[in-house]
Structure 1
Amino acid sequence: MTTNFLWGSATASYQCEGAWNEDGRVPSLWDTYLHDNHLENGDIASDHYHRFKEDIQLMKEGGHNTYRFSLSWPRLITDLAGTINPKGVDFYHRLIDECLANGIEPFITIFHWDLPDYLEQRGGWLSKETIEAYVTLCDLVFKEYGQKVKYWTTFNEPRYYVFSGYFIGNYPPGVHNPQQTISASYNMMLANAEAVKRFKALAMPGEIGIVHSYGPIYGVDDRPETRQAMRDADNYYNNWILDTAILGEIPQDMLAKLAGQGFDLSFILPEELKTIKQNTVDFVGLNYYARVLIAPYETGETILAINNSGASGQGSSKVVVREWFEQVWDHANSEFTPWDTEIYPQGLYEGILMAHKKYGVPIYITENGVGAYEDVSGEVINDQFRIDFLNDHIDAIKRSMADGADVRGYYVWSTMDLYSWKNGSEKRYGLVALDFDQDRQRKPKASYYWYKAVCQSNGETIEATRQYRQDYFSMLTIINEETNEKERDEDVFS
């Protein structure tokens, strides 16, 4: 690893901040959707809004030198007229300043899904009015925080956001409309270019990129029809974000296929394509959780079934895009989480090299982690499965760098347990445990101490494991002294 490699963890505003109606914040589309449907919500979440100093201290003590977080749009701008909320602006000044005071580099995502509901009621990302409002937000945050922040990203996972909201329909606004999916996707990528344009016009001192939900494409075999399905799937999952943001080019074969299927593309204007071409990102953030295994489409209608229910729905995911491809899950030969997420570190190694070869821009792994049901009631939280997962994926990054990839940072998802969208708070990702029933008490897991040693050793995992054991047993000694228990449970490392 390079000496200036960024080691940190990541959160998102709606998933961790809470304080949903405090200090001038207005509702987001998620607030409205979850409240109206009487679903578990992020009203309090991890209470990061009130406890960010405690959380940043834990990051510092955990060896982090960077923190990736997002800005809450409805906390900053409260209406269609663009009214700025000074308390919201001040909150992020305090958060950024606290990071810098503790030697932690802020890595900011401008939009991580919490669109103000006042914009959603006007059409959301189907409306170009939202693009204008987004540029106004960018202008505000660049001017407010631009002298403190070096790393900016325009969007977190625009593909996942749009497809979940407009195509699969399992996230707000909860519709299944392919034409709207195409329109919203285009508008977000145009907004990305407009944000980059504004960033450059202001001559900001830092760098600006985009964060993508990266699914490296694999085929079930090497038949010509499988290779074509893989290309269509790559356009669907990756290329319309990465090609557009990095190269300034929407994949032409994808547009031709959509037009051939009768979709209306007349909203794509030549002057907008010029803006996209001229305003490309400086780097890319890749969020990696799993590869995507593809088989050729055979017959039938589009099926978009995603497992948001954990173990009770394991094996229920099914994705068929009519006349494009079928995604398959090889449960017989791979390991999966209860949410049908394959654990496949080799996909990160190969995916990084794919992206490096194709795009040649700096890469940050902006999310990587594993969600699980966990019992966090005890004094000791042994999440050895998470340590194994992170170790194997960090090793994949190191191997990709040894083979020439320009990777500059790694962020564990997530800093602490948080609200995991439709999966609720039972799906835990954090290095730090939260008791959601007892005043959000923070409690570092075994993985926190292991990752601390990884950060401090700059990715030397053998030394990291040795140091982690020492730190972890020191913690156990303190716990045992406090509870008058003298024995250590050596089995936590078995």
Structure 2
Amino acid sequence: MDKFLWGGATASYQCEGAWDEDGKVESMWDRYLHDENLENGDVASDHYHRFEEDIRMMKEGGQNSYRFSLSWPRIIRNREGDVNEKGIAFYKKLLATCHEYGIEPFVTLYHWDLPQYWEDTGGWLDHGVCDAFAHFAKVCFDNFGDQVTYWTTFNEPKWFVVNGYFIGNYPPCLHDVQKTMIAAYNVMYASALGVKVFREGGYKGEIGVVHSYTPIDGVDDTIETQIAMRNADNYSNNWVLDTAVLGEFPIDLITRLSKDYDISFIKAEELRIIKKFTVDYIGLNYYARALVKPYTTGETQLIFNHTGKKGESKILIKNWFEQVKDPNSEFTQWDTEIYPKGLQDGLLKAYKKYNVPIYVTENGVGVREDVSVDQVNDDYRISFMNDHINALMNARDMGADIRGYYAWSSFDLYSWKNGHEKRYGLVAVDFKNGLVRKPKASYYWFKDVITSKGEIIKRREL
């Protein structure tokens, strides 16, 4: 594992703060959280002003890579595409600091913070945003291409599209299948355009996509359950990964949707671009699998736990599938199953199907923690990471080409609708007392793992 990338991950809105400084314009999340008077990321972890400290701590923690995203509204000022040079300067300093400390940047172009000036025209329902994304990508490649080897077009298309347009708990808070389909198509087309700009520009390095990976298991091996599993896989995974890697939307998904919805927005010439400009690698963000059974009765319900009170989540899509809980599994306060075998099985399945390099680009556990102590003794996080890195190493031993592991997250940050209460970081951030950084026990444990090249991981079969 000499060339393996070990690091942590963040996202611009969740950690930078400085929401209106140095020419940054409003994002859709700025507008939404301000209008709804919800806890926001105006300051977050203040990474914008403290990035040197944070990157130095990554180095001191043995990490050799940092996965982060660029803020579109910090870089592009308006719909005309004018560049904010102060935003460019900030990311150049951040990248230079990474290289100063021997940290390999792993850079995401889009991690959900669409400029509000594009949300005003319809957001991802506006097909013109696809070309705007391609322009944004080119600006980034031109300005940072000499400092970046690993590029990602989008972080978790499924998550922000489904939550924004179908479930309605993220902006723009819609509940519309037709609009969900249009947004999903536009995002995947925009991703292909980003790859096209990268290829035709002759930039160095590799470009991929990062997906919120939910490996699917069934309650039994009946034909009905197999069909439910395929439906769940199409909903959760295939429309992102098949499209990005193989260049094709799942035909059975499109066929099924076409029976009830209009698919005339899909254009042959754009499908040719999607087919031609596929990714070099995939990043898989793994938190849990989905255990499903055939649909029985009831209307569609997609309820996610944002309170940390167990038992609030429910996923059922009428006539497609129902997600159930394994009574033998452990769950977090936010109803996330702790199931490392899902990562092992999912990595093997993804590599067999797509045959491209894989990075585990997010993996972690969110909990409430008292950070007023000198050091958070997060043995639960150490146990979680140990078991999931073990799962990754098992999959590598079985032949999967896995090239990196990124803990979510590098340090405590703003966790979208969960606010600052849900903590994932290897480093504690005291949001109430000057944003002081204090490494947790997991930070030092992770350093030992990296130093040993994974040899100290407690290995077991899953």
Report 1:85-164 matches (<5 A): 85-164=84-163
CA contact 1:368–1:412 (8 Å) conserved in 2: yes
1:394 maps to 389
User: Which residue of the partner structure matches residue 67 of structure 1?
Assistant: 66
Shift in Å, 1:459: 1.0
1:181-232 C-alpha deviation (Å, 9 max, x unpaired):
0000000000011110110000111000000000000001111111000001
| Residue of structure 2 aligned with 1:273, choices 246, 254, 271 | 271
CA deviation digits over 1:62-120, x for unaligned, max 9? 00100000000000001111111000000000000000010000000000000000000
Select which of 363, 366, 372 maps to 2:361: 366
In structure 1, stretches of 5+ residues that fail to align are 465-494
TM-score normalised by the chain length of structure 2: 0.98
AA aligned to 1:55 is D
Deviations 1:11-39 (A, max 9, x none): 00000000001000011000000000000
Q: Does 1:341 align with 2:339?
A: no
Q: Is the 8 A contact 2:411 2:429 kept in 1?
A: yes
Percent identical across equivalent pairs? 60
Alignment map for 1:42-57 (pairs within 5 Å):
42-57=41-56
2:420 aligned with 1:425: yes
Residue 201 of structure 2 aligns with which residue? Answer: 202
Match of residue 322 from structure 1: 318
Partner of 1:475: none
Q: Does the alignment pair 1:405 with 2:403?
A: no
Q: Secondary structure at the match of 1:340?
A: coil
1:463 deviates by 9.4
- 1:38 match: secondary structure: coil
CA contact (8 A) 1:34 1:41 kept: yes
Work out whether residues 19 and 44 of structure 1, in 8 Å CA contact, stay in contact via their aligned partners in 2.
yes
CA distance in 1, matches of 2:266, 2:376: 52
1:376 partnered with 2:371: yes
The one-letter code matched in structure 2 to 1:217 is I
Deviation string, structure 1 residues 433-469 (Cα, Å, up to 9, x no partner): 01001110000000000001111111112599xxxxx
Question: What do the CA deviations read for 1:156-195 (whole angstroms, capped 9, x no partner)?
Answer: 0000000010111111111111111000000000001111
Distance 1:46 1:462 in 2: 30
Residue identity in the other structure for 1:30: W
Instruction: Write the distance in 2 (CA, Å) between the matches of 1:380 and 1:49.
Output: 24
Please state how far the C-alpha of 1:380 moved relative to its aligned partner.
2.2
Q: Which runs of 5+ in 2 are unaligned?
A: none
Matching residue's letter, 1:303: Q
Distance 1:380 1:98 in 2: 26
State the 1:300 CA deviation.
Answer: 2.0
Superposed CA deviations along residues 407-445 of structure 1, whole A, max 9, x for unmatched, are 000000000000000001000000000100111000000
Work out whether 1:84 is the aligned partner of 2:79. Answer: no
Instruction: Indicate whether 1:255 and 2:254 are aligned.
Output: yes
Q: Which amino acid aligns with 2:286?
A: Y
Please give the secondary structure, in 1, of the residue aligned with 2:330.
coil
Task: Give, in whole Å, the separation in 2 of the partners of 1:166 and 1:112.
Answer: 16
**Corresponding residue for 2:437?**
442
CA contact (8 A) 1:111 1:155 kept: yes
Q: How many residues align?
A: 459
Tell me the distance in 1 between the aligned counterparts of 2:238 and 2:263: 18
Displacement after TM superposition at 1:354 (Å): 0.2
Distance in 2 between the 1:52 and 1:306 partners? 32
Give the aligned partner of residue 231 of structure 1. Answer: 230
In 2, are the aligned partners of 1:369 and 1:389 still within 8 Å (CA)? yes
Structure 2 equivalent of residue 469 of structure 1: none
SS at match of 1:461: coil
Instruction: For 1:380 and 1:10, locate their aligned partners in 2 and report how far apart those are by CA, in whole Å.
Output: 21
Q: Which residue of 2 aligns with 1:470?
A: none
Measured on the aligned residues, the alpha-carbon RMSD in Å equals 1.0
Match of 2:349 in 1: 354
Q: Answer yes or no: is the 8 Å Cα contact 1:453–1:463 preserved in 2.
A: no
Partner-residue secondary structure (3-state), 1:240:
helix
8 Å CA contact 1:457, 1:463 repeated in 2: no
What SS does the corresponding residue of 1:370 show, helix, strand or coil? coil
Deviation at 1:381, TM superposition (A): 1.0
Q: Aligned partners of 1:342 and 1:248: how far apart in 2?
A: 31
Q: 1:265 to 1:463 in 2, by over 3 A?
A: closer
In the superposition, the TM-score normalised over structure 1's length comes to 0.92
Q: Which moved more, 1:210-219 or 1:332-341?
A: 332-341
Report runs of 4+ in structure 1 exceeding 3 Å deviation: none
2:38 paired residue number:
39
3-state secondary structure, aligned to 1:443: strand
